[in-house]
Amino acid sequence: MVRRLGLVAGLLAGLILPGFFQPAAAEPPRRVLSMNLCTDQLAMMLAAPGQLVSVSYLAQDPTASAMADQAARLPVNHGLAEEIFLMRPDLVLAGAWSTPETIRLLKRLEIPVEMFPIETDIAGIRANIRRMGEVLGREAQAQAMLARFDADLARLADAPPGPRPRAALYMANGYSSGRDSLAGQIVDLAGFDNIADELGLPAGGTLALESLLLADPDLLIEGRRYDGHARAQEMLDHPALKALSRGRPAEVISDPDWICGTPFILRAVAGLRDARLALRDAP
């Protein structure tokens, strides 16, 4: 009840006192709230101590977040306008997939919202890092992070020119994706061609099991399994797929490093690069 009153009061305040919560132009925000798993992680990497007041509940989930330990020290939000409002942020960080109704409501409450697009390539990741630095007033830290990222990337992306081994991403429901997706970029950076590109699924889509088998990939990258049973996952245990992966290397996607466009993708690239080197060394 008290929370509801708070919301009503806030709505009124928002209507009566526009600009009340707006920070002064040059001043960096002091109470930043992030409501998206990916902005959570970039903000935790770049924010000044005490600047970030809340992250999304997903940031504490070790199966999805690469920074669950760090997030455990922060209060979480569930992306609901009411709870976000009551945390009194002076800046909200949201992703392109955040609920539009929530964003609209927050904007009506005169809370500044910064939306970050989904990163599907290195340029997108670099742009989001730079932008996070700008909105948090932490440009220098963002520059340093970018320099480190570029150096690490250059060290990992060392695939020799010429024909490359072919990898296939295969996730629940037979979903696969190619070069227009973040996962496809990781595969590409690690020095693999992607059969999803050969089969016309650059942005992702369903890959029939028989098409996968006949494409004969050198490396199979499987989606992670969730607890409990789902038919969508059953196909990862299909005898035909088992027969394909027999005597052939397979990697399993580890979600925290693959989901968000942060420097953590380089861990995924490094893992696949090792698989590529092992393939080369195998007889």
Partner 1 sequence: MNRQGLLFAGLSALVAALFLASLLTGPAGIGPGESLAALFRGGDDLLALVMRELRLPRAILGLMVGAALGMAGAVLQGFLRNPLAEPGLIGTSASAALGAVLAIQTGLSAAFPLGLPLAALAGAALSVLLVLMLAGPRGGTLALILAGIAISALAGAATSLVLNLSPNPFAINEIVFWMMGSLADRSMLHVWIAAPFMLLGFALLWPMRPALEALTLGEDAAASSGVHLGRLRLMLVAGIAALIGGATAVAGTVGFVGLVVPHVLRRAVGASPARLVPAAALGGAATVLAADIAVRWLAPGRDLKLGVLTALVGAPFFLHLILKTRREGL
CB 80, min distance to partner 1, A: 20
CB of 21 to partner 1, least distance (A): 35
In the bound complex, what is the minimum distance in angstroms from residue 264's beta carbon to partner 1? Answer: 21
**CB-wise, 135 or 199, nearer to partner 1?**
199
Phi, psi for residue 231 in degrees, rounded to 5: -60, -30
R_g (Cα) of the chain, nearest Å: 22
Measured from the CB atom, is 172 or 250 closer to partner 1? 172
Nearest approach in angstroms of CB 243 to partner 1 is 6
Rule CB under 8 A: say whether 214 interacts with partner 1: yes
CA dist., res. 248 & res. 37, Å (int): 34
> Dihedrals φ, ψ of 76, to 5°?
-105, 160
Q: What's the full length of the chain, in residues?
A: 283
Nearest-angstrom CA–CA distance, 148 and 128? 15
- Based on CB atoms, which residue is closest to partner 1, 249 or 271? 249
- Match 């570029």 to its residue by tokens: 150
- List all residues 6 or more positions away from 88 whose beta carbon is below 8 Å from its beta carbon: 21, 31
Which residue, chain included where needed, has tokens 């922060």? 74
Query: At how many degrees (to 10) do helices 139-156 and 37-46 cross?
Result: 110
| Residues in region 224-253 near partner 1 by CB under 8 A | 226-235, 238-240, 243-244
Q: Is 206 in the site for partner 1 (CB under 8 A)?
A: yes
Q: Which residue reads 């000044």 in tokens?
A: 48
Rule CB under 8 A: say whether 64 interacts with partner 1: no
Is residue 203 close enough to count as binding partner 1 by CB under 8 A? no
Owner of token pair 């992680």: 41
209 binds partner 1 (CB under 8 A): yes
146 is a site residue for partner 1 (CB under 8 A): no
Of 238 and 280, CB closest to partner 1:
238
User: Segment near partner 1 (CB under 8 A), from 29-37, 184-192, 209-217, 256-264?
Assistant: 209-217
Question: If binding means CB under 8 A, how many residues of this protein chain bind partner 1?
Answer: 28
Q: Which residues contact 68 (CB under 8 A, 6 or more apart)?
A: 59, 60, 61, 62, 256
- For position 216 contacting partner 1 by CB under 8 A, the verdict is yes
What's the order of all strands across the beta sheet hosting 91-95?
Answer: 76-77, 52-56, 32-34, 91-95, 113-116
Q: 160 or 247: whose CB is closer to partner 1? A: 247
Contact residues for partner 1, defined by CB under 8 A? 172-174, 205-211, 213-214, 216, 226-235, 238-240, 243-244
